[in-house]
């Protein structure tokens, strides 16, 4: 089949006119963003611009004030049901929301590993307790995912015995063990000492190469330049500039130019 005749793909994420307010604080003011499967989107923007809020909305850790988000073609938080011969939107129950969230893996700035569990136990935890997987099977998966992030020799280490970079790699393995379709990263290297940033970006780079769909909030411009298919610059709750990685070299908007001058 030629490229031209290929059926159009369903976006991994499609956000339309997304608004979010916390009381009177209007944080997101109409975000439109489409992420295609197998692509990497890097979100840049100053602190307070609404980047984390946007990721948290995708993962249903917050609820929308307006607009809609589809993940893998499915509206999040709602479903269409027939009622009195009409289609109406009904909110999803907790179980349905959990099923939608299972498509997404999220990695935060703070890794939040369970301190009383080893690396292996941390990665096994959700497959056993959320997916009700047998321990032996969960162990196999955890070993494989820890291998993938380069920690085969640290399976039985506790978080305090690991560096920040190693802990963050365990956190990535923990998300991957749930077999997400999409990975969301919220400043995964911001809390790390500079010499530990590279190992985490390396894992993210290899995930991207393996075809994972990723949305990454980061200030690592080099990573954005090298890995991103799409770059989004947010400020004040709106997308100010958006395009391929070349927009980093050739920004058109003043606010984006200023931002780049400060981070580069």
Residue 37 or 236: the one with the smaller Cβ distance to ligand ADP is 236
Mark 44-63 with x for binding to ligand ADP (rule: CB under 6 A) and - for no binding.
-x-xxxxxxx----------
Q: How far is the CB of 85 from ligand ADP (least distance, A)?
A: 40
Residue 100 or 190: the one with the smaller Cβ distance to ligand ADP is 190
Residue 23 or 85: the one with the smaller Cβ distance to ligand ADP is 23
Residue 45 or 165: the one with the smaller Cβ distance to ligand ADP is 45
Confirm or reject binding of residue 188 to ligand ADP (CB under 6 A). no
Question: Applying CB under 5 A, which residues contact Mg ion?
Answer: 52
Nearest to 175 by CA among 142, 202, 139: 142
For 104, residues 6+ apart whose C-beta sits below 8 A from its C-beta are 58, 59, 71, 180, 181, 182, 183, 184
For 189, residues 6+ apart whose C-beta sits below 8 A from its C-beta are 168, 196, 197, 200, 201, 218, 220
Q: How far is the CB of 216 from Mg ion (least distance, A)?
A: 12
Q: How far is the CB of 249 from ligand ADP (least distance, A)?
A: 23
Cα separation of 86 and 94, whole Å? 24
Question: What interhelical angle do 119-129 and 135-148 show, nearest 10?
Answer: 130
**Token digits for 119?**
């690396």
Mark 5-44 with x for binding to ligand ADP (rule: CB under 6 A) and - for no binding.
-----------------x--x-x-----------------
Q: How far is the CB of 262 from Mg ion (least distance, A)?
A: 16
- Choose the contact partner of 45 out of ligand ADP, Mg ion, none; CB within 5 to 8 A by kind: ligand ADP
210-239 residues near ligand ADP, rule: CB under 6 A: none
Q: Are strands 78-83 and 74-75 parallel, antiparallel or unpaired?
A: unpaired
Cβ contact 151:170 at 8 Å = yes
- Choose the contact partner of 50 out of ligand ADP, Mg ion, none; CB within 5 to 8 A by kind: ligand ADP
Could you list the residues that contact ligand ADP (CB under 6 A)? 22, 25, 27, 45, 47-53
């Amino acid at each position: 089949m030629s490229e031209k005749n290929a059926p159009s793909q369903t976006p991994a994420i499609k956000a339309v006119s997304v608004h979010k307010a916390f009381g009177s604080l209007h944080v997101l003011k109409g975000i439109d963003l489409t992420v295609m499967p197998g692509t990497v989107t890097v979100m840049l923007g100053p602190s307070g611009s609404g980047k984390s809020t946007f990721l948290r909305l995708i993962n249903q850790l917050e609820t929308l004030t307006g607009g809609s988000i589809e993940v893998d073609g499915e509206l999040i938080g709602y479903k269409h049901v027939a009622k009195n011969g009409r289609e109406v939107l009904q909110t999803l129950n907790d179980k349905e929301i959990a099923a939608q969230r299972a498509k997404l893996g999220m990695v935060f700035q703070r890794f939040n590993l369970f301190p009383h569990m080893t690396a292996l136990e941390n990665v096994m935890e959700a497959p056993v307790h959320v997916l009700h997987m047998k321990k032996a099977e969960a162990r196999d998966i955890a070993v494989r995912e820890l291998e993938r992030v380069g920690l085969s020799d640290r399976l039985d280490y506790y978080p305090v015995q690991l560096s920040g970079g190693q802990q963050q790699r365990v956190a990535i393995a923990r998300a991957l063990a749930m077999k997400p379709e999409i990975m969301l990263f919220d400043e995964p290297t911001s809390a790390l000492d500079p010499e530990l940033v590279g190992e985490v970006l390396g894992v993210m780079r290899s995930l991207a190469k393996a075809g994972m769909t990723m949305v990454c909030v980061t200030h690592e411009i080099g990573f954005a330049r090298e890995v991103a298919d799409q770059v989004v610059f947010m400020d004040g709750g709106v997308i100010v500039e958006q395009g391929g990685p070349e927009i980093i070299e050739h920004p058109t908007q003043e606010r984006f130019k200023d931002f780049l001058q400060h981070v580069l």
